[in-house]
Amino acid sequence: MKQTKAFTLIEMLVVVSLIVLLISMLLPALGKARQAAKITACAANQNQISVAQVKYLLDNDQVFPRLQNWAGLIGKRGTVGYYSASSMDVTARPLNEYVGEERDGSNVDITECPSDLGDAFPSYNGSITSCYEFYGTSYLPQWNSSAFRVTPVYGRPGGMRSISMRRVKGSASNKLLLADWSWHGNRPISDPMTRWHNKGPVRQFNTLFADGHVSYFIYPNEEIDVEYTGGSYGIAPPTPDFLWW
């Protein structure tokens, strides 16, 4: 009878070691690929929001909408009172109807960033684990006031008027509209919740600009990391000749 040679223990250990080595080499690459896919999916969300914005502008003489609060541009009803999120249903968010939004709030997946880690604003003490669930959206526009070197295009009912696309057209490519929720400089980059798409102390977020393009944009820390003192975010005023305005 012909005998079949079996693997020795040493041979099996060598094979197992090689498999472990290959896995250890592949895991970082797979992690980077997964993270890149999330960044791409988030950018695709913002691209769709941009399309909805264009449709709104066409219907409203190129004037941007007025919002009830920071979370009021697009999305579902939130679960907390911050930024009036829990009091704004889908009909109160002006871009919803331009993405086929249903009245029950079931069709706003484009406002959920797959890397949404919540809001690191200091007063919330890390309690907000997902901006999408808490505010109804993962994306924060600049609203109602100039801060962080951004001139807002979105006003509020009974207050600041929204501005026209005609006013920003000459510098639309760097006119910031919105970004991942934690882009504001009063979200400390030292807090892991602020690092939605990166691990290091880099303030880098998907950002939508007025000409419709989305950039995985790096905000220079020295330009935007500020403390809230005396009712003002004390950095330079918005100017179109800067990196953003």
pLDDT cut 70: percent of the chain above it: 84
Q: What is the pTM of this model?
A: 0.83
Least confident of 11-20, 185-194, 227-236: 227-236
Mean pLDDT for the stretch of residues 144-156: 92
Residue 47 has pLDDT above 50, yes or no: yes
* Domain ranges, ordered by start, for the chain: 9-233
* pLDDT reported for residue 111: 96
pLDDT tens, position by position, 89-142 = 888 999 999 987 554 555 568 999 999 999 988 777 778 889 999 999 999 999
**DSSP line for the chain:** -PPPPPPPHHHHHHHHHHHHHHHHHHHHHHHHHHHHHHHHHHHHHHHHHHHHHHHHHHHTTTBPPP-SSTT-SS----SSSGGGGGG--GGGSTTGGGGT--TTS---GGG--TT------GGGTT----HHHHHS-SEEE-BSS-BTTB--SB--TTSSPPPBHHHHGGGGGG-EEEEEGGGSTTS-TTSGGG-SS-SSS--EEEEEETTS-EEEEEPPHHHH---EETTEE-SPPP-TTSS--
Mean pLDDT for the stretch of residues 175-200: 91
* pLDDT reported for residue 230: 43
pLDDT band for position 228 (cuts 50, 70, 90) = very low
